[in-house]
Structure 1
């Protein structure tokens, strides 16, 4: 509850206390307040006073989240201040109070129902005792991270004719200064006051009527808010934007499909670049040493038909290294050239430093695990980590090369992995203690067919159809631990079905993930042995995170339409 809410209630204006204090304000000014004081038992009054003081403390204790705090987030393990926990993308927490010896005693501490329907893909942020998250239909909220009690809620009024391809989802917020930042389904970027949820500024990134949207969790770098656009299923021309955090002014834009006269433009046939796709719908990472933002891009459009867009189709399905100040492209690495299977490369890139080597790693949707030198963009290795049939050779750089017969046909034939990929948007994690990279993986093959389709602005633009191959059953889901130095799979845990959860690792020797059946599971990071699970009653499409308050460690994850927090008894 904010100071404004308390003042409103104290003045006798309409409002209610949450929870057990649900008596609405009514009658003459202040009457309910004074009557309640006269009638209430002393113990109840003490509880009420303590609750009100906690509310005031929460509303005033929030410190400015400076760029320096984000840079030095390792010094604040109690907070989770970016989508991946820090700029590296590791999604690793140095908290170790919950560990392999006591994880089996974890209990649910609180549950927050978002009040929306449909899946949640958000990773909440926690700063100084407050939690910030998002839900379906561009709902943002702030909670008391101790109890899950709501502090404020923002609900965007979304146009009725929006056209998101893959659910009305949002993956989270960024925080900088005294504001949190939200991308929206109608392709806006919005700054909200972190204490109140009030709109500070609201700018248009693109026209939602042509299929653009923003579902990504923004990345706050220096004084900029960086976002990528969604809409590759509608033939948008992808881009990455940076906005001034204070004013909302756009500072730079990099189109992920180069125009005439730009390097890479000749990788597109005719005018196909105008609706070439390459969206940037998942969050990147930032290297402060080189001042580079690493951002992944998605499929070319149409996603499953290569005719009419001959060439490599740069910079689709690529990892881009950008100057953080200007957006200038320093280097790129393309994972799948001339993609015809919807294998977006939008998986979170993870920065790894080991034995004097500075890598960036990605478990790609196409079934290969890539390690890249992050200074040069040169490929270090590419190893298969899931079931693949589309490639059996590599080029001179070591990059897998697609077989001609893997292309979709009019009749259709089976290719592995399927269009959903060996992994997808599910956030991975890297544990520097074990030296292992953990990722949700799936084995599913699809039958891909193709047919001519003209581009029409604002309409789906696939150029094909695909559906699961019955010959490739059973469809399997895994959590896999990969050694980046060798590409070897150290261990794997098989779920009962393909799953969509992200992954978290902690200094307690644990890896946390969820599954499609609604379980939240703790694993031994070294062996993959399941140590504990909790049934949340809703499928998991989000990634977990960790935080601490008053010296107590918590784990949080979204499942179904709720956010859950867990801790030791």
Structure 2
């Protein structure tokens, strides 16, 4: 009976739609020259949201408010929801590929039979029955197959398990970078903020947006396939914004996370769903944004929304089945080791310690390294006296079991939201005259750290921005906290800012220059605390933070000497300190980044002198990467609207 009622309401609502909406949005909702398609958004909008849009309008987009009786409004909403549910993900975007069986004629004779995944007047992507993907270029009335060799992949979020965004590619270098030009741009519909890094394997690029994965021809940006599922309503924090930072790949499988804290596996050649594993119930504030990391036959994935009073963890799932192999809780249970660092055991279940950035892995040591987030509430530590393990830490785990080998806490008892969610960069390098296996991190608290990654031994901690909360780091690696640096009810000025001296933005180490590169933020804030209680559906900061009077607010690319922590050079960016672009360094002696003014730029890796820029007028929220296909090096980066690829002229 319920289904029948909805069907009748939807049918009645169609008349209302054709009368009130079709003139601008089209008879099928797919858009006209007056207004855009509404199909991509209908499935994600709740009835109350649709009611508000219809009755109040959207003045910024020229949509008027409608005076409409409740009965007609209910029918119209039912029709819109039915319309959104009945449209396939591909049909919601007119650019989406429409696979079909076909035959392609090749230059020199011969044919290829299979599924034509996408076709334009210039190229075709075809999958043959053996599962092989063929990238084809049109010449006159036939096609030639692209030979991707020589090629070099960017096979994971950071390009390698070490999290070092440094590439040995040098075709683009300091002598010719001024000739670098944009080759293609792939837009992502309805996205205003993309933080993902492309992954490229065997000539195919994989990129993500909120609950979406796209496979592209890495040479042209032409779409091959896409996967999507509806957005989840009622989320809190970063997942609600629609952030997704990328994928992991092992053989024929691709792994990513969804906004509502699921890990999914797709066939990387077709985009078909293989398995779907729920990490946690999103109604308990859990979400996910970080690209997973594949270690042998396990997929490692973390959770986000770490300012909402959840209990953080890191999970491992079997590649083949999606069955969970282990879970490491970043917040111990009562009476477990570390629980004594929280005071009242009752606070543990809402201690936070999220795991929202991709970790690193050392295959020789068989150790997995993962950064952890802040404790909750973020800015008021009165309810959680003690160090609050294992927040603001790096944890070194055995990847087969999740067992803790060692940990290092950068900011005990954090009261400024200075997560340790910055890249954990692994390098083998000489340090003070001895070869060492090192872990490098520029931390949000303003200090650059060097650890021995075998044992977790502290080796170096030096500031790379102006900081006013600590007198330094002692011999054990513990910060010497200055008095009156915690937030107060009246407000306390402290440097760095709440977003940190740096953040999740990618870093790199150049073995030639022996310099560590990062995006640094010079800024101070007035921190206050309050007695906010935890409440479902809300963030739990326990205070506020605003830019301090007279504070600087500027971002820099800085190069640090890893043996001393000294800043060797610093490039001051121009803008409003909005860029979130990390760095990519290469053997071409270049450092690429998204500049605060909207340009994509390259600096000399040794000196920091600007060598090239392309004014894309973009708000950069992602970090660059590089790859080679058919002997041609590309540099790619996501902007707020889509993905760019650059190369030298052929």
Which residue of structure 1 lines up, in the alignment, with residue 309 of structure 2? 235
Which residue of structure 2 lines up, in the alignment, with residue 530 of structure 1? 610
Q: 1:146 aligns with which of 199, 202, 219?
A: 219
Q: Shift in Å at residue 162 of structure 1?
A: 1.9
Q: How does 1:323-338 map to 2 (within 5 A)?
A: 323-338=398-413
Q: How does 1:433-448 map to 2 (within 5 A)?
A: 433-448=512-527
Per-residue CA distance 1:195-215 (angstroms, 9 max, x = gap): 111111111001111211110
Query: What CA distance in whole angstroms lies between the structure 1 residues aligned with 2:634 and 2:472?
Result: 46
Query: What CA distance in whole angstroms lies between the structure 1 residues aligned with 2:457 and 2:278?
Result: 36
Q: Does structure 2 retain, via aligned residues, the 8 Å contact 1:172–1:216?
A: yes
Residue 146 of structure 1 aligns to a residue in which SS?
A: coil
Q: How does 1:486-497 map to 2 (within 5 A)?
A: 486-497=564-575
Q: Does structure 2 retain, via aligned residues, the 8 Å contact 1:322–1:328?
A: yes
Which residue of structure 2 lines up, in the alignment, with residue 310 of structure 1? 385
Q: How much is the aligned-residue C-alpha RMSD, in angstroms?
A: 2.3
Q: 1:222 aligns with which of 296, 309, 317?
A: 296
Q: Does structure 2 retain, via aligned residues, the 8 Å contact 1:445–1:468?
A: yes
Which residue of structure 1 lines up, in the alignment, with residue 142 of structure 2? 49
Query: What CA distance in whole angstroms lies between the structure 2 residues aligned with 1:228 and 1:146?
Result: 32
Residue 209 of structure 1 aligns to a residue in which SS?
A: helix
Per-residue CA distance 1:307-336 (angstroms, 9 max, x = gap): 111110000000010001101010000000
Residue 325 of structure 2 aligns to a residue in which SS?
A: strand
Q: Shift in Å at residue 296 of structure 1?
A: 0.4
Which residue of structure 2 lines up, in the alignment, with residue 255 of structure 1? 329
Query: What CA distance in whole angstroms lies between the structure 2 residues aligned with 1:241 and 1:537?
Result: 39
Q: How does 1:454-533 map to 2 (within 5 A)?
A: 454-472=533-551, 474-497=552-575, 498=577, 499-533=579-613
Query: What CA distance in whole angstroms lies between the structure 2 residues aligned with 1:278 and 1:9?
Result: 54
Which residue of structure 1 lines up, in the alignment, with residue 449 of structure 2? 370
Distance 1:369 1:16, change over 3 A: closer
Distance 1:456 1:19, change over 3 A: same
Q: Shift in Å at residue 506 of structure 1?
A: 0.6
1:349 aligns with 2:424: yes
1:164 aligns with 2:237: yes
Q: Shift in Å at residue 523 of structure 1?
A: 0.9
Residue 380 of structure 1 aligns to a residue in which SS?
A: strand
Q: Does structure 2 retain, via aligned residues, the 8 Å contact 1:350–1:360?
A: yes
Q: 2:204 aligns with which of 103, 119, 130?
A: 130
Q: Shift in Å at residue 9 of structure 1?
A: 9.4
Which residue of structure 1 lines up, in the alignment, with residue 629 of structure 2? 549
Query: What CA distance in whole angstroms lies between the structure 1 residues aligned with 2:475 and 2:167?
Result: 38
Q: Shift in Å at residue 116 of structure 1?
A: 2.9
Distance 1:45 1:237, change over 3 A: closer
Which residue of structure 1 lines up, in the alignment, with residue 89 of structure 2? none
Tell me which moved more, 153-162 or 246-255.
153-162
Q: Does structure 1 retain, via aligned residues, the 8 Å contact 2:204–2:216?
A: yes
Query: What CA distance in whole angstroms lies between the structure 2 residues aligned with 1:92 and 1:77?
Result: 17
Query: What CA distance in whole angstroms lies between the structure 2 residues aligned with 1:48 and 1:198?
Result: 32
Q: Shift in Å at residue 172 of structure 1?
A: 0.7
Distance 1:210 1:519, change over 3 A: same
What stretches of structure 1 of length at least 5 have no aligned partner? 23-43, 62-75
Structure 1 runs (4+) deviating above 6 angstroms are: 1-4
Query: What CA distance in whole angstroms lies between the structure 2 residues aligned with 1:176 and 1:487?
Result: 37
Which residue of structure 1 lines up, in the alignment, with residue 156 of structure 2? 82
1:395 aligns with 2:474: yes
Residue 159 of structure 1 aligns to a residue in which SS?
A: coil
Q: Shift in Å at residue 261 of structure 1?
A: 2.9
Higher relative contact order (CA 8 A, sep 6+): 1
Distance 1:501 1:45, change over 3 A: closer
Which residue of structure 1 lines up, in the alignment, with residue 166 of structure 2? 92
Greater Rg by CA:
2
Q: 1:559 aligns with which of 605, 629, 639?
A: 639
Query: What CA distance in whole angstroms lies between the structure 1 residues aligned with 2:567 and 2:164?
Result: 18
Residue 143 of structure 2 aligns to a residue in which SS?
A: helix
Distance 1:48 1:455, change over 3 A: farther
Distance 1:8 1:155, change over 3 A: farther
What stretches of structure 2 of length at least 5 have no aligned partner? 1-94, 105-115, 124-136
Q: Shift in Å at residue 159 of structure 1?
A: 2.0
Q: How does 1:375-454 map to 2 (within 5 A)?
A: 375-454=454-533
Query: What CA distance in whole angstroms lies between the structure 2 residues aligned with 1:500 and 1:45?
Result: 39
1:286 aligns with 2:361: yes
Q: Shift in Å at residue 400 of structure 1?
A: 1.9
Query: What CA distance in whole angstroms lies between the structure 2 residues aligned with 1:358 and 1:187?
Result: 34
Query: What CA distance in whole angstroms lies between the structure 1 residues aligned with 2:489 and 2:138?
Result: 74
Which residue of structure 2 lines up, in the alignment, with residue 7 of structure 1? 101
Query: What CA distance in whole angstroms lies between the structure 2 residues aligned with 1:442 and 1:429?
Result: 17
Q: Shift in Å at residue 562 of structure 1?
A: 1.2
Query: What CA distance in whole angstroms lies between the structure 2 residues aligned with 1:3 and 1:163?
Result: 33
Q: Shift in Å at residue 515 of structure 1?
A: 2.0
Equivalent residues, number:
524
Q: Does structure 2 retain, via aligned residues, the 8 Å contact 1:350–1:362?
A: yes
Q: Does structure 1 retain, via aligned residues, the 8 Å contact 2:151–2:630?
A: no
Q: Does structure 1 retain, via aligned residues, the 8 Å contact 2:97–2:223?
A: no
Query: What CA distance in whole angstroms lies between the structure 1 residues aligned with 2:514 and 2:364?
Result: 22
Q: Does structure 1 retain, via aligned residues, the 8 Å contact 2:122–2:138?
A: no
TM-score (norm. length: structure 2)? 0.78
Q: Does structure 2 retain, via aligned residues, the 8 Å contact 1:164–1:185?
A: no
Distance 1:77 1:354, change over 3 A: farther
Distance 1:366 1:170, change over 3 A: same
Per-residue CA distance 1:184-232 (angstroms, 9 max, x = gap): 1111111111011111111100111121111001101000110111121
Query: What CA distance in whole angstroms lies between the structure 2 residues aligned with 1:256 and 1:532?
Result: 43
TM-score (norm. length: structure 1)? 0.88
